Structure 1
Amino acid sequence: MAYNQHNDPYNQHHNAQYSHLNVAPEYPPGTAYATPQEYDQQWDSKSAKSIGSSQYHGSQAHLNPQYEMSQVSLHGGAPPVPTMNYGAYQPDYPPQPRPGMLQDMGSGYSMAREKLMKRRSVRQVELRDGNLVLDFQAPSHIVPKGMTDVEEMTKMRYTAATCDPDDFMRRKYTLRPYLYGRRTELFIVMTMYNEDEVLFVKTMNAVIKNIAHLCGRTRSKMWGPEGWKKIVVCVVSDGRNKVNKRTLQVLTLMGCFQEGVMKDEVGGKDVTAHIFEFTTNVIVTDTGEVSPGSCPVQVLFCLKEQNKKKLNSHRWFFNAFGPLIKPNVCVLLDVGTKPTGTSIYELWKCFDKHKGVGGACGEICVDTGRGCSLLLTSPLAASQNFEYKMSNILDKPLESVFGYISVLPGAFSAYRYKALQNGPDGKGPLASYFKGETMHGGGADGAGLFERNMYLAEDRILCFEIVTKKREGWTLKYVKSAKASTDVPTSIPEFISQRRRWLNGSLFASFHSTIFFWRIWTSGQNPIRMFILQIEFIYNAVQLFFTWTSLANFYLAFFFLVSSATNASGKNNAFNFLSASAGKDVFEIFLNLYIALIFVTTVCSLGNRPQGSKWIYALSMILFGLCNAITLWCAGYTVYLNVPHTVNGWEDFPHLVATNKALQEIVISLAATYGLYFVASFMHFEPWHMFTSFIQYMFLLPSYVNILMMYAMCNLHDVTWGTKGDNGAAKDLGGAKKIKGDDGKEVMEVEVPTAREDVDRLWAASRSSLKIKPPEEKEHRDAATKQADHDRNSRTNVVLAWIGTNMIMIIVFTSTAFLNWVNKHVETTQGSDFNPYLSFLFIALAGLSAIRFVCSALYLVFRLFGF
Structure 2
Amino acid sequence: MSSSTEKGDVDVSKIRTPTGPYAQHARGTSDIEKGLEEAGNQPRVAAPVLRRYKPFRNANNLVIDVDVPSKLLGLCAKRSEREFTHMRYSAVTCDPNDFQSCGFTLRQVHYDPPRRTELFIVVTMSNEDDILFCQTMHGVMENISHLCGRNRSKTWGKDAWKKVVVCIVSDGGSELNLRTISVLTAMGAYQSGFAKRMVNNIPVAAHVYEYTTQISVSPSMTFEGAESGVVPVQIIFCVKDKPRGKINSHRWFFNAFVPILQPNICVLLDAGIRPGPTSIYHLWKSFDIVSGIGGTCGEVVVSKGIMGRNLLNPLVAAQDFEYRMSLILETPLESVFGYIRNLPSGFSAYRYIALQNDSNGNGPLVTYFNGEKILQSARDTSLITLNVQLEASRVLCWELAYKRGGQWILHYVKSAYAFIEVPRSIPELLLRHQRSQNSSFFAMIHIMARFTYIYRSSHSILRKFWIHIEMLYHAYTLVFNWFAIGNYYVVFKVLTDSLEDPSFHLAKFQTANIVLDYFYLGMLFVSFLLAMGKRPQSSRWGYTICFVGFGLITIYMLTAGILLAVKTAQNIQHGDSGPLRIRHLFSNLVFRNVVIPVIVTAGLNLLASILFFEPWHMVTSFVQYLLIVPSYISVLSVYAVANVHRLSLGDRTDDINKPDRKGIDQPVIVEKDVDEEYEDAIHMLQTDNPKGNLKGDVMADRDGDFRMKILLAWSLSNALLAAIVISVTGKAADKGVATTINGYISFVFFSLAGLTVFRFVGSTTYMLVRLFVGE
TM range (shorter): 0.7 to 0.9
Question: What residue in structure 2 maps to residue 749 of structure 1?
Answer: none
Question: What residue in structure 2 maps to residue 391 of structure 1?
Answer: 326
Cα deviation 1:122-142 (Å, max 9, x = unaligned): xxx987664111100112233
Matched to 2:617, the amino acid is H
Alignment equivalent of 1:460, drawn from 381, 394, 418:
394
**Would the aligned equivalents of 2:300 and 2:420 in 1 still touch at CA under 8 Å?**
yes
- Post-superposition offset of 1:52: 7.9
DSSP-derived class of the 1:721 partner? coil
The answer on 1:474 being equivalent to 2:408 is yes
- Post-superposition offset of 1:440: 2.7
Gap change, CA 1:52 and 1:819, over 3 Å in 2:
closer
Question: What residue in structure 1 maps to residue 306 of structure 2?
Answer: 370
Cα deviation 1:394-429 (Å, max 9, x = unaligned): 001111111111111111111111111222333221
1:394-473 equivalent positions in 2, closer than 5 A = 394-443=329-378, 446-473=380-407
Question: What residue in structure 2 maps to residue 166 of structure 1?
Answer: 97
Alignment equivalent of 2:707, drawn from 795, 799, 808:
795
Question: What residue in structure 2 maps to residue 513 of structure 1?
Answer: 447
**Would the aligned equivalents of 2:193 and 2:669 in 1 still touch at CA under 8 Å?**
no
Gap change, CA 1:311 and 1:457, over 3 Å in 2:
same
1:527-538 equivalent positions in 2, closer than 5 A = 527-538=461-472
- Post-superposition offset of 1:733: 2.6
Return the alpha-carbon distance in structure 1 between the equivalents of residues 493 and 591 of structure 2.
18
Alignment equivalent of 2:616, drawn from 684, 688, 700:
688
The answer on 1:659 being equivalent to 2:587 is yes
Return the alpha-carbon distance in structure 2 between the equivalents of residues 653 and 477 of structure 1.
48
Question: What residue in structure 2 maps to residue 607 of structure 1?
Answer: 533
Matched to 1:395, the amino acid is E
The answer on 1:733 being equivalent to 2:670 is yes
Matched to 1:590, the amino acid is L
Question: What residue in structure 1 maps to residue 684 of structure 2?
Answer: none
Matched to 2:729, the amino acid is L
1:118-129 equivalent positions in 2, closer than 5 A = none
**Would the aligned equivalents of 1:127 and 1:133 in 2 still touch at CA under 8 Å?**
no
Gap change, CA 1:290 and 1:608, over 3 Å in 2:
same
Return the alpha-carbon distance in structure 2 between the equivalents of residues 734 and 238 of structure 1.
18
- Post-superposition offset of 1:637: 1.2
**Would the aligned equivalents of 1:253 and 1:290 in 2 still touch at CA under 8 Å?**
no
- Post-superposition offset of 1:653: 6.3
**Would the aligned equivalents of 1:822 and 1:835 in 2 still touch at CA under 8 Å?**
no
Matched to 1:182, the amino acid is R
Cα deviation 1:364-419 (Å, max 9, x = unaligned): 0000100000102x100000000000001100111111111111111111111111
1:159-558 equivalent positions in 2, closer than 5 A = 159-180=90-111, 181-286=114-219, 288-293=221-226, 294-376=230-312, 378-443=313-378, 446-558=380-492
1:37-186 equivalent positions in 2, closer than 5 A = 72=33, 74=36, 77-78=39-40, 130-143=60-73, 147-180=78-111, 181-186=114-119
- Post-superposition offset of 1:657: 4.1
Question: What residue in structure 1 maps to residue 725 of structure 2?
Answer: 813
Cα deviation 1:487-510 (Å, max 9, x = unaligned): 000011111011101110000001
Return the alpha-carbon distance in structure 2 between the equivalents of residues 68 and 437 of structure 1.
39
Return the alpha-carbon distance in structure 2 between the equivalents of residues 691 and 805 of structure 1.
37
- Post-superposition offset of 1:165: 1.3
Structure number with the bigger relative contact order (C-alpha 8 A, sep ≥ 6) is 1
**Would the aligned equivalents of 1:330 and 1:417 in 2 still touch at CA under 8 Å?**
yes
Gap change, CA 1:732 and 1:568, over 3 Å in 2:
same
Question: What residue in structure 1 maps to residue 569 of structure 2?
Answer: 643
Matched to 1:864, the amino acid is L
Return the alpha-carbon distance in structure 1 between the equivalents of residues 631 and 714 of structure 2.
17
**Would the aligned equivalents of 1:284 and 1:290 in 2 still touch at CA under 8 Å?**
yes
- Post-superposition offset of 1:572: 3.9
Question: What residue in structure 1 maps to residue 50 of structure 2?
Answer: none
Cα deviation 1:609-642 (Å, max 9, x = unaligned): 1111111001001001111111111111111112
DSSP-derived class of the 2:101 partner? coil
Superposition CA RMSD, Å: 3.0
Cα deviation 1:20-68 (Å, max 9, x = unaligned): x9xxxxxxxxxxxxxxxxxxxxxxxxxxx997899x9xxxx9x6xxx78
DSSP-derived class of the 2:174 partner? coil
- Post-superposition offset of 1:656: 2.8
Identity %: 40
Where does structure 1 lack aligned partners over 5 or more consecutive residues? 1-20, 22-48, 83-124, 574-580, 737-784
Count how many residue pairs are aligned between Structure 1 and Structure 2: 705
Cα deviation 1:304-354 (Å, max 9, x = unaligned): 111111111111111111111111111111111111110000000001111
DSSP-derived class of the 1:865 partner? helix
Question: What residue in structure 2 maps to residue 585 of structure 1?
Answer: 511
Alignment equivalent of 1:863, drawn from 749, 757, 770:
770
Gap change, CA 1:660 and 1:158, over 3 Å in 2:
same
- Post-superposition offset of 1:296: 1.0
Normalized per residue, the structure richer in helix is 2
DSSP-derived class of the 2:495 partner? helix
Matched to 1:326, the amino acid is Q
- Post-superposition offset of 1:821: 11
**Would the aligned equivalents of 2:60 and 2:200 in 1 still touch at CA under 8 Å?**
no
Alignment equivalent of 1:718, drawn from 646, 651, 655:
646
- Post-superposition offset of 1:822: 10
- Post-superposition offset of 1:670: 0.7
- Post-superposition offset of 1:77: 4.7
Q: What TM-score, normalized by structure 1, do the two folds share?
A: 0.77
Return the alpha-carbon distance in structure 1 between the equivalents of residues 130 and 738 of structure 2.
65
Q: What TM-score, normalized by structure 2, do the two folds share?
A: 0.86
**Would the aligned equivalents of 1:250 and 1:286 in 2 still touch at CA under 8 Å?**
no
Gap change, CA 1:704 and 1:650, over 3 Å in 2:
farther
Gap change, CA 1:679 and 1:148, over 3 Å in 2:
closer
Return the alpha-carbon distance in structure 1 between the equivalents of residues 452 and 489 of structure 2.
35
Where does structure 2 lack aligned partners over 5 or more consecutive residues? 5-10, 25-32, 45-54, 659-665, 674-695
Return the alpha-carbon distance in structure 2 between the equivalents of residues 210 and 634 of structure 1.
51
**Would the aligned equivalents of 1:265 and 1:735 in 2 still touch at CA under 8 Å?**
no
Return the alpha-carbon distance in structure 2 between the equivalents of residues 51 and 418 of structure 1.
45
Question: What residue in structure 2 maps to residue 40 of structure 1?
Answer: none
**Would the aligned equivalents of 1:266 and 1:735 in 2 still touch at CA under 8 Å?**
no
